[in-house]
A and B are shown apart, each in its own frame.
Chain A
Amino acid sequence: MRRRRTVGAVAAAAALAVGLAACGGGDSSSDESDGNGGSEPAFSAATEGIVNPSDAKGGTLRYANEGEWDSLDPGDTYYGYSWNFANAYYARKLVTFKNAPGAEGGTVVPDLATSLGESSDDAKTWTYTLKDGVKFEDGTAITSADIKYAVERSLDKETFPHGPTYFNDFLDGVKDGFSVYKGDTLDSIETPDDKTIVFHLNQPFSGFDYFAGLPATAPVPKDSDTGSKYKNEVVSSGPYKFSDVQDGKSYTLVRNDQWDPATDQVRPALPDQIEVALNVQKEDLDQRLMSGDLDVAVTQLGVGSAARAQVLADPEQKKLADSAPINRTWFTSINSEVAPFDKLECRQAVIYAADRTGYQTAFGGEIGGGDVATALLPQTIPGTTKIDPYPVSAPTGDEAKAKEALAACGQPNGFETSYSFRAERPAEKAAAESMQQSLAKVGIKVTLKPYPQDDYFSLYAGKPSFAKKEGLGLMANGWAADWPDGYGFLAQLVDSRVIRETGGASNLSVRDPEIDKMIDAAVNETDETKRQQAWADIDAKTMEGAWVYPGVWAKVLLYRPETLTNVYVSSGYDGYDYAALGVAQD
């Protein structure tokens, strides 16, 4: 009896939540803002201009995180929000993203360096010169040796497993197991004097400025480096420094009086203090955001479903929200190692038969979910033009074309296959179910197979032998760009050489030597326009091979309380630019 009543109450609560969510759906009208960078809060205004522009200093900016940071150590972090936060407050890098809304916020400008990198030797050598007057929080001058050391230490992936591996892959002569803690040093980073740093690459790479903007180039004083413990005692080079770090609970930052605003063109440094609460329950976090008790949800994953319904239903609240396009695509990998997907037409049949709006709805619809994708590259990446290589008769799927393709690959009556997704992700499950239904219409019988998300790439879908053995012909996947350009988005996703038998790769299905060659050419291309075109061509080539079904170009529904000033969505950070934010002063 007692049990039944409990279940009843839970069911009632769940029904209530679902009901609320349902009320919020459907309304997809977007109030256009005036678009002149104006200050009137309106729905999605911060995606087009600066909301509440202000240069008033003071106050405490309050962040909250529904989970935990991977690491505060600039050399060991890979969350986009963490890069945004580090850049804004305590980790200056050689270069960084411009302090500007929209796509302009994705362009690179000098930070600690006096200018962007000067390349020589066919873009294999990159030189930067440091500004005068840049200091650590203890007043010591920042030298090129501090940056060399910071990059070198980040190469040790045993001690710092979280961060990206771009420097490991591109710097010349980085041996496996390189570690500054074992006495290794690198000849391919030179510091001829205190102001100059030179990087030598193992291949030409024209987009190196993006590497120079990675948090790993934030200087680390060698004497203060405590390896994996440095994350709790990071030495600041930015306008704020940590005054309190409580692992898993909270962080506090206060002004760093050694930071000289004259050396910094991207950080207005408005608040006096920054506070971060960790592990705040998501619903509670959303409510606090809306009641003005918090200023920013730091992960920028968007508000939860209950709060979403509340925000969209109330015009006063909706004005304070942004449906922000981000550099992320949700898609389904089509595995050519599982028959009959070894045949092009069978892969194409999936793309034709898929219910595009069903997939979009699974991820949350137009607001907060995203737009129906017709290729991998998100439209927010500069130089991308929309292509639709597989036009369909209806957005819910084109049975005729799908059946034609099936006949062409010798499976006129369809076939059976399996679809993997991450068990903890309801959106991926809903998308898988939508695919299951739409593919059934053309005779493709799909078995759904959930796997735990922690090991999804390392042991299950991402491990080629496992995927083959389990017959995973279709695999849910999702990817966000490390920075807004073709390389930052596609390099890890469509290069067949990143696929390893040991698992762990994000590319689950694209195996085309042609594409690999095109990537090499694009990486070495020094002309920016041609380079953007090269990546667009790679995207088109991936679609031509039908290696993936592109699902949704993602958007998130962000909330900006009236307490926030200088708010805009930057393409460089896939969300609000934290460096710009201030607190309203009354």
Chain B
Amino acid sequence: MTTFIARRMVAAVVILFLVSLITFAIFFLVPRLAGASADDLASRYVGKSASAEQVHQRAEQLGFTDPVLTQYADFVKGVFAGREYDLGGPEPLDCPAPCLGFSFIDQDPVLPDLIDRLPVTLSLAAGAAVVWVLVGVGVGVLSALRRGTVFDRAAMAVALAGVSLPVFFTGLLALSVFSYTLDIFPPGGSFTPITENPFDWAYSLVLPWVTLAFLYAAGYARLTRAGMLETMNEDYIRTARAKGLAERTVVLKHALRSTLTPVLTIFGLDLGLLIGGAILTESTFSLPGLGTYTVQAISSNDLPKVLGVTMLAATFVVIANLVVDILYAVIDPRVRL
């Protein structure tokens, strides 16, 4: 088991390294290949009326004039040893290790921003995950057990709507009905950290949770239903019933357990991706999380920020995968081979 975990962790590190290399190349190498000079890149990060010399100077300060490989080496070095940028201010600007990038526009290290915004995204993703797993799996099981009834058909119709309707639609609808018209929940942009007031935290996140969970729960319900239907026809379920076990035990202990394996896989990936930023949900509800941060970074062309978020998101996906792999190995020993 230890070897297995160690092997997986090494693979995870290799993947992160590759992701950083590819992302870096897309941002800093591709424009070069497309014919943009170092000065062209730097012209975004100086004032409108900068002279050619000023643009060139900025290009040098930001390291754009170095070969791309050197720039990448500097980036990697920064992650472990920190970096300093001399942009002509009162003193050189410091980006302490781990320096996950330095915003060319804000002239600030990226990592503190990410750490600052992570709690919002984590709160959103974790809360929504609880809702969608409970609701999705619950509805899926009930639907499977009552196959063909009005409940099953209604649930699957709602589930279809869930996967079909985009978050920016359901989110705005939810806000308009429950916040502006009925005034039950707070408007978009409300967020209270859990450390400040757990009740307000949950209250302010109910609409985003439900909106986001609606999208995911639908998929989980359909997945669980299909899995349950298949499992319930297995021989060992008949055996369990024949043993005289209570139906409850049969369903929960025997059927659901094996149905959950594929659900777990999807869950790991979904959660990992969401922690990298639920872009649409955060934007719709104006939540200051990683998703809105990414949107701003992209729209202002602040490449180091985008690079930082990409690395963070990749890390979460890789970690979530790692955890799922390990859990799998626990459930099914064959995986370890």
Contacts and interface: CB of A to CB of B under 8 A. Distances in A.
Interface of A: 2, 5-6, 8-10, 13, 64, 67-68, 156-163, 165, 176-177, 179, 181-182, 225-229, 246-250, 277-281, 283-285, 287-288, 290-291, 293, 454-455, 457-459, 500-504, 506
Interface stretch (B51-59, B135-143, B225-233, B237-245): B51-59
Nearest to A226: B90
A161 B106 CA distance: 11
A281 B166 contact: no
Interface in B79-112: 87-91, 93, 106-108
B165 interface: yes
Given A2-B163, A9-B165, A280-B188, A161 B47 contact: yes
Contacts, number: 141
A46 B291 CA distance: 38
Contacts of B166: 6, 9-10, 13
Interface residues of B, number: 50
Nearest to A6: B164
Contacts of B52: 500-502
A158 B54 contact: yes
Contacts of A67: 296, 299
Nearest to A71: B106
B209 interface: no
B175 A503 contact: no
Contacts of A500: 51-52
B296 A156 contact: no
A181 B88 contact: yes
B169 A503 contact: no
Contact of B88 (A162, A182, A285): A182
Contact of A158 (B87, B160, B163, B300): B87
A455 B44 contact: yes
18 contacts: A68-B296, A157-B47, A157-B50, A158-B89, A159-B89, A177-B57, A181-B91, A225-B90, A228-B87, A281-B284, A281-B285, A284-B286, A287-B175, A288-B180, A457-B48, A500-B51, A502-B51, A502-B55
A52 B151 CA distance: 56
Nearest to B39: A502
Contacts of A156: 88
B164 A228 contact: no
Nearest to B49: A165
A457 B299 CA distance: 16
A457 B47 CA distance: 12
Contacts of A504: 43, 48-50
B249 interface: no
Contact of B189 (A248, A280, A457): A280
Nearest to A292: B180
Given A181-B88, A226-B90, A288-B187, A279 B292 contact: yes
Interface string B26-59: 0000000000000010011111111111110110
Lowest 8 CB-CB distances: which A-B pairs, in order? A227-B89, A161-B47, A158-B88, A284-B188, A5-B164, A280-B286, A249-B288, A228-B107
A341 to B, nearest CB: 25
A160 B165 CA distance: 45
A227 to B, nearest CB: 3
B153 to A, nearest CB: 17
A504 B55 CA distance: 11
A363 B155 CA distance: 45
A284 B174 CA distance: 11
A284 B172 contact: yes
Contact of A161 (B45, B188, B189): B45
A378 to B, nearest CB: 21
Contact of A503 (B43, B88, B90): B43
A99 to B, nearest CB: 30
B322 to A, nearest CB: 29
A541 to B, nearest CB: 24
A97 B299 CA distance: 33
Contacts of A281: 188, 283-286
A284 B40 contact: no
B200 interface: no
B44 A177 contact: no
Interface of B: 40, 43-55, 57-58, 87-91, 93, 106-108, 113, 160, 163-166, 169, 172, 175-176, 180, 187-189, 283-286, 288, 292-293, 296, 299-301
B164 A2 contact: yes
A156 B54 CA distance: 11
A506 B180 CA distance: 42
Given A9-B164, A161-B46, A283 B172 contact: yes
A248 B88 contact: no
A281 B188 CA distance: 8
Given A9-B166, A287-B180, A502-B52, A181 B47 contact: no
Contacts of A280: 188-189, 286
A459 B55 CA distance: 13
Given A6-B164, A165-B49, A291-B180, A277 B90 contact: no
Given A229-B108, A277-B189, 20 more contacts: A5-B160, A6-B164, A10-B166, A13-B169, A156-B88, A158-B46, A158-B54, A158-B57, A158-B88, A159-B89, A176-B53, A228-B107, A229-B107, A248-B293, A283-B172, A284-B189, A287-B175, A287-B187, A290-B180, A458-B48
Contacts of A288: 180, 187-189
Nearest to B292: A279
Contacts of A64: 189
A10 B160 CA distance: 15
B187 A159 contact: no
A161 B50 contact: yes
A163 B47 CA distance: 8
Given A248-B293, A248-B296, A287-B175, A176 B90 contact: no
A582 B299 CA distance: 33
A291 B106 CA distance: 34
Nearest to A294: B187
Contacts of A291: 180, 187
B83 to A, nearest CB: 16
Contacts of A13: 166, 169
A278 B293 CA distance: 11
Nearest to B188: A284
Contact of B169 (A9, A176, A229): A9
Contact of B113 (A176, A177, A247): A247
Residue of A165, A247, A284, A459 with most partner-chain B CB within 10 A: A284
Contacts of A160: 47
A492 B124 CA distance: 47
A506 B49 CA distance: 10
Nearest to B56: A502
A181 B296 CA distance: 30
Given A9-B164, A156-B88, A293 B187 contact: yes
B4 to A, nearest CB: 36
B176 A287 contact: yes
Nearest to A284: B188
A137 B87 CA distance: 29
A291 B187 CA distance: 10
Contacts of B293: 248
Contact of A228 (B46, B49, B93, B187): B93
Contacts of A250: 288
Contacts of B296: 67-68, 248, 279
**Residue in B52, B57, B176, B187 whose Cβ sees the most chain A Cβ within 10 Å:** B187
A176 B51 contact: yes
Nearest to A424: B299
A20 to B, nearest CB: 13
A284 B285 contact: yes
Contacts of B93: 228
Contacts of A285: 286
Given A13-B169, A67-B296, A68-B296, A277 B286 contact: yes
Nearest to A502: B52
A181 B284 contact: no
Nearest to A288: B187
